[in-house]
Amino acid sequence: MRGQKPDLSETGPGEDEWRTRFSRLALLLRSLEATGKRKEKVKILAGYLKELRPEEVAPSVLLIVGSIFPEFDPRTMNVGYATVRRALGGDRQATLIEKPLTVLDVYKTLTEVAEVKGPGSRRVKTSMVRSLLSRAEPTEAEFLIRILQGEMRIGVDEGMMIEGVAEAAGLEPELIRRALMMTGDLGKVARIALMEGEGGIRRVGVNLFTPLKPMLATPSYDIKEALMEHGGVTAFEYKFDGARIQIHRLGEEVRIYSRRLMEVTPSLPDIVELVKNRIGSRELILEGEAVAMGSGGRPLPFQTLMRRFTRIHDVEDMVKRIPLRLHLFDILYIEGRLLIDEPYSERWRILEEVCPRELLAERLVTGDPREAEAFLRRALEMGHEGLMAKRLDSTYTPGVRGKGWFKIKPAETLDLVIAAADWGYGRRTGWLSNYHLAARSGGEWLIVGKTFKGLTDEEFKWMTRRLQEIKIGETPHTVYVRPEIVVEVDYNEIQRSPHYRSGFALRFARIRRIRDDKPPEEADTIERVKELYERQFEYKAKSEF
């Protein structure tokens, strides 16, 4: 996979006294944490951002949101609970000249920590973290540890940072959001907004080989709701049970990105060939779903597909064993023309012009609910998940979950995040096997249930390893983890719960699949749980008649 580095310009030498101290940032983080009011947070952020020197903007912004690399960057901090504990233990080396930490020092060191690889890397990381912490005052150390563990929790997410940057730069948040969608690099966008203003930010365009954030869909109750919301007529497409890919092509160069904006080209040589041979334009960005194909052309389970996506060695063998089928459903760019502001119907027209029919998603444009129901039944019979409903005049809004796209899945599931896990007993001794499932609520994660059902033995083992890597605390029975792993969960019923702080509990929860392809920010929210709770109530009330 090819890493792209965030754009940070060089700093000048010997200007330390002018640089922003890390203690200033720690103070800011403390005051952001202390207020729950969104507007006030935005004001505090904007005030801080305006004080910064150009080269400090990107590092500051990334440190505040608590993830130092842009989403598409494959590097991760990967500093576990154990490393931090080891770094905190042991002898603290007193530094002779205690130079105060600056924001740039911290950012640079954290980047270096993330880049240490290979044998002995744990030791090296521990010692780098130890020397960083030895220069930190208590508040600085506290926030450093939170950043290292990916546990910032000060209630500043990307959306709020966009507002803070917009206020500091005196620009509309929409302009910042748009630039971010094109580049995926929050630090870079913030610097351009603050240093180059409106002109600069408007010049941020789409770049081939820099993936755009995918447009997201809102869950819909049923076909009728989707039709009504879309003004009576809409485009239904099969909702394929696969992995979303974004394909960039310039001449003979084709690169493919996952939904999380990671490059997956080396695992998909068959899709690369298909694009080179069958697509009628040499400069474009396409979007579609790749589905693993079993006998008789029926889709294979998602977990099988994921094996294709993670494979880097013996790819040729995998290509034969798990053939893929590509279903294209959007086009975002063609030959110098950005298409995201074009209506869906126009994008589809262009898509049809450049792609052969058999590579396009099956779709039906209709206003007739009965026709749509029949289409949905056909989708399910073919082994797909349901339908998407796409508003004919909707633009492509990268990274945004709007009402332009609805997803209609008859088997309702929730995408939840694992926040902790209990050690198993009996047959499951030695495995972390009872998972605490959490839904998003602002910057917090609230538990809505637990389950030990649904995983294979292999998956239990994988999960046990993975959870220990992201451990942030533990008791003899339970390991607490960073909220990073998303699982799709089936359940029988949502109940009110006095037991969980969320107020809800899932009855008979069962993991349907591990959603490696989904970032935790896209997991379901407590509002969604509440909505589903109320809907089942509606349904029950109705069924009593």
388 lines the binding site for ligand AMP (CB under 6 A) = yes
Nearer to ligand AMP, 192 or 361 (CB): 361
Task: Check residue 120 and give left, alpha or beta (phi > 0: left; psi -120 to 50: alpha).
Answer: left
Written as six digits, the tokens of 354 are 């450049």
Nearer to ligand AMP, 239 or 471 (CB): 239
Nearer to ligand AMP, 112 or 412 (CB): 412
239 lines the binding site for ligand AMP (CB under 6 A) = yes
461 lines the binding site for ligand AMP (CB under 6 A) = no
Nearer to ligand AMP, 155 or 219 (CB): 219
Give how many residues touch ligand AMP by CB under 6 A: 13
199: buried, middle or exposed (CB in 10 Å: 19+, 13-18, 0-12)? exposed
CB of 394 to ligand AMP, least distance (A): 12
Catalytic residue among 239, 390, 471, 518: 239
CB of 16 to ligand AMP, least distance (A): 46
Contact residues for 482 (Cβ-Cβ < 8 A; gap 6+): 149, 150, 151, 470, 472
DSSP assignment of 136-170: --HHHHHHHHHHHTT---SS--HHHHHHHHHHHHT
Give residue for tokens 């820099």.
Answer: 210
User: Parallel, antiparallel, or unpaired for β 444-451 and 432-441?
Assistant: antiparallel
Q: Among 92-100, 232-240, 470-478, 531-539, which window interacts with ligand AMP (CB under 6 A)?
A: 232-240
Nearer to ligand AMP, 24 or 308 (CB): 308
Kindly state the helix (H) or strand (E) to which residue 493 belongs, with its residue range: strand 493-496
Closest CA to 5 of 66, 79, 60, 70: 70
Q: 3-class SS at 360?
A: strand
Nearer to ligand AMP, 238 or 491 (CB): 238
Q: Cβ distance 351 to 277 under 8 Å?
A: no
289 lines the binding site for ligand AMP (CB under 6 A) = yes
Written as six digits, the tokens of 66 are 């608590």
Nearer to ligand AMP, 53 or 378 (CB): 378
Nearer to ligand AMP, 144 or 279 (CB): 279
Residue 357 to residue 327: CA distance in whole angstroms: 10
Residue nearest to ligand AMP according to CB distances in the complex: 244
Give, as ranges, the residues between 343 and 382 that touch ligand AMP (CB under 6 A). 361
Written as six digits, the tokens of 171 are 């620009």
Torsion of CA 287, 290, 291, 295, to 10 degrees: 120
Residue 382 to residue 101: CA distance in whole angstroms: 60
Q: Among 29-37, 234-242, 249-257, 434-442, which window interacts with ligand AMP (CB under 6 A)?
A: 234-242
Nearer to ligand AMP, 378 or 407 (CB): 407
CB of 218 to ligand AMP, least distance (A): 9
CB of 389 to ligand AMP, least distance (A): 10
422 lines the binding site for ligand AMP (CB under 6 A) = no
CB of 228 to ligand AMP, least distance (A): 20
Task: Check residue 434 and give left, alpha or beta (phi > 0: left; psi -120 to 50: alpha).
Answer: beta
CB of 292 to ligand AMP, least distance (A): 13
Residue 386 to residue 434: CA distance in whole angstroms: 30
Q: Cβ distance 247 to 275 under 8 Å?
A: yes
237 lines the binding site for ligand AMP (CB under 6 A) = yes
CB of 216 to ligand AMP, least distance (A): 7
**Contacting ligand AMP (CB under 6 A), which of 48, 69, 107, 240?**
240
CB of 67 to ligand AMP, least distance (A): 21
Written as six digits, the tokens of 350 are 């262009």
276 lines the binding site for ligand AMP (CB under 6 A) = no
Residue 497 to residue 503: CA distance in whole angstroms: 5
Give residue for tokens 């998303």.
Answer: 486
230 lines the binding site for ligand AMP (CB under 6 A) = no
Kindly state the helix (H) or strand (E) to which residue 292 belongs, with its residue range: strand 283-292
DSSP assignment of 395-422: ---TT-EEEEEEEE-SS--EEEEEEEEE
- Report the b/e string of 425-443 with b at 16+ CB within 10 A: eeebeebbbbbbbbbbeee
**Contacting ligand AMP (CB under 6 A), which of 107, 143, 257, 329?**
329
Is 453 annotated as catalytic?
no
Task: Show the binding pattern over residues 241-270: x = contacts ligand AMP (CB under 6 A), - = does not.
Answer: ---x--------------x-----------
Nearer to ligand AMP, 194 or 305 (CB): 305
Give, as ranges, the residues between 38 and 97 that touch ligand AMP (CB under 6 A). none
CB of 301 to ligand AMP, least distance (A): 15
**Contacting ligand AMP (CB under 6 A), which of 75, 86, 378, 407?**
407
Q: Among 62-70, 187-195, 239-247, 504-512, which window interacts with ligand AMP (CB under 6 A)?
A: 239-247
Give, as ranges, the residues between 204 and 223 that touch ligand AMP (CB under 6 A). 214, 217
CB of 248 to ligand AMP, least distance (A): 17
As annotated, the active-site residues are: 239
Binding site for ligand AMP (CB under 6 A): 214, 217, 237-240, 244, 259, 289, 329, 361, 388, 407
